[in-house]
Chains A and B, each alone.
Chain A
Amino acid sequence: MRNIWTICRRELYSYFVSPIAWVLLAIFAFLSGAFTYIISASFVRASFESQMSGQSFPMNLNEQVIGPLFSNIAVISLFLIPLISMRLFAEEKRQGTIELLVTSPVHDLEIILGKWLASVLMYGALLVVLAADYSFLFLYGNPDWPPVATGFLGIFLQGACLLAFGAFISTLTRNQIVAGAIGFAAALILWILNWTTSFGNSVTVQVLNYLSVVSHLDSFTRGVIDSKDLIYYLTMIFLGLFLTARSLESLRWRA
């Protein structure tokens, strides 16, 4: 446990003393802020129009603002997550510091969990920015809070599972850019798998849709924690970390 924390702490140190963390936070703050503004502004205009026209449409902050916002944020994070995970192992390999880690009295699993945890916390820092955006909705509106909470949980789990895969991809190369590019492609593929639903409803399509990271987010943003989705994310996290462990182990046999 202590070793995991030691490694995690050092990883966070590197995120925050280098520009990575701050650049990511700035980009995310700008994008999430812009989306929050655009979506809530159109909601406000729509509700004005509905009142002006006399025939009031049912307006719902949760369904019309918070739900779409989560979907947009999910897509933004697909782009940002490879930037968080790409350095995890690639940088250690390039610097040769992997030799320090591997020849220290720590288990591979502790190294992997420490690094993954750090990347998840880094991602969590982005979600704190998002929470600040949402706080305005609570300040000026009156949304239901449970769907917001489950939405955060869902988006957090989605990030954690993509980061686990990102960590695996990062073990494959010593070049951060390559790790980032492959990680981005992988995230993109996991995202667009659910587009196949427009091609009908065969078994293949259902399987592909199930594998997509994004299709499991919907129930969370609606305030439902479906065990099917929860299991999906946890399995994917486990799979990603398992592959990382195997890859790190094989590094010694290949090196």
Chain B
Amino acid sequence: MIQVDGLSKKYGRHVAVDHISFSVEKGDIVGFLGPNGAGKTTTMRILTCFLPPSGGRATVAGFDVFEQPFEVKKRTGYLPESPPLYPEMSVEDYLTFVARLKSVPSREVKQRVEQVMERCSVGDVKGKLISKLSKGYRQRVGLAQAIIHNPDVLILDEPTSGLDPKQINETRELIRDLSGAHTIILSTHILSEVEAVCKTVIIINRGRLVATDSVEHLKQRGAGNAIQVQIDTDGTGDLSAVRQRLEQVAGVSKVIEKPRNGTPFVFEVQSLPGRNVRADIARAVVHAGWNLLELKALTSTLEEIYLSLTGAVAEQPPVSEQPEPTVETVGGTK
């Protein structure tokens, strides 16, 4: 549905977007992730034909954004970072105007306006002036405006910024609802949003593409090399002995003590890349006559992956726990 190929945008000497390539399939919800100033808005503006690219190509619904902007505009709905609203208009009048502007046939305008007001639950304020609306309602009117002509592609620039938690949930709900019929790109710098809403993530930083993958894959990518072990020695070994034993297992690169809730025998074991040491550890522990209480792989949260990919320094330890079925883990068959 969306094809981006070596896309660049320069403002004078400043490179805002640097040879980005990605593609989005029909019906996908893609999270466009990056710190502020990474080039998210610029990329979206190019996709909506607001800005011409400096280099590369982008096609939306099969039409080139530079060659055939008119066709692209007909098929995209766009919610800029601040919703493009006329404060002096009432919600209904505003949506009617946008419907006409987006070439909705005259006969269907009224019906479409009713539909999107219902869909975005702004029907109860349809007679109100937009200037009197709360931030949450404005955002929803903004969304209503973007979907009024039933576009193939929806481009949403930080749709939940500035909303309170309840409104954020409602907006995400709405976006998830819309995903069936539309292909959606939404930008955000909130990670939980991507995890909550998107199937695929595109991470950019300083104008460059850092990663593009499904949320699941990306999570696994940062994991796999660290496992957490809890051991009960029945008093037959002290901390350093256990530690030593663990370090001797082939493929282990590092053992970190991570005492938890008063039990000192908890370790984070990091292995060399590509080595699966879980089975060996289990064997070694049992062999030493100790009880293996816990053995699980650690998955990075998207947050940590994001921070490491975008080069920011994480304040938390690099990995955290993410429970996994224990049976599967002990068997080491993953």
A residues at B contact (CB < 8 Å): 2-3, 6-7, 9-10, 13-14, 17-18, 95-107, 252-253, 255
Contact = CB atoms under 8 A, between A and B. Distances in A.
Contact of A100 (B51, B70, B98): B98
Residue of A17, A97, A100, A102 with highest tally of chain B CB at under 10 A: A100
Given A95-B86, A99-B50, A255-B51, A106 B101 contact: yes
B58 to A, nearest CB: 14
A254 to B, nearest CB: 9
A97 B73 contact: no
Contact of B78 (A10, A18, A103): A103
A97 B89 contact: no
Contacts of A96: 80, 82-84
Contacts of A9: 97
Contact of B89 (A7, A14, A253): A14
Interface magnitude class on chain B: 20 to 34
A13 B98 CA distance: 14
A219 to B, nearest CB: 41
Interface in B42-56: 45, 48-52
Contacts of B48: 103
Contacts of B97: 6, 9-10, 13
B179 to A, nearest CB: 21
B126 to A, nearest CB: 16
Given A9-B97, A18-B88, 9 more contacts: A3-B100, A3-B103, A7-B101, A17-B89, A96-B84, A97-B84, A99-B84, A100-B78, A102-B49
A95 B73 contact: no
Top 9 nearest A-B pairs (CB, nearest first) are A100-B84, A6-B100, A105-B73, A97-B84, A103-B48, A105-B74, A104-B101, A99-B80, A10-B97
Given A7-B101, A105-B102, A106-B101, A100 B145 contact: yes
B87 interface: yes
Contacts of A2: 100
Nearest to B89: A13
Given A96-B82, A105-B70, A13 B93 contact: yes
A162 to B, nearest CB: 25
A183 to B, nearest CB: 21
A103 B49 contact: yes
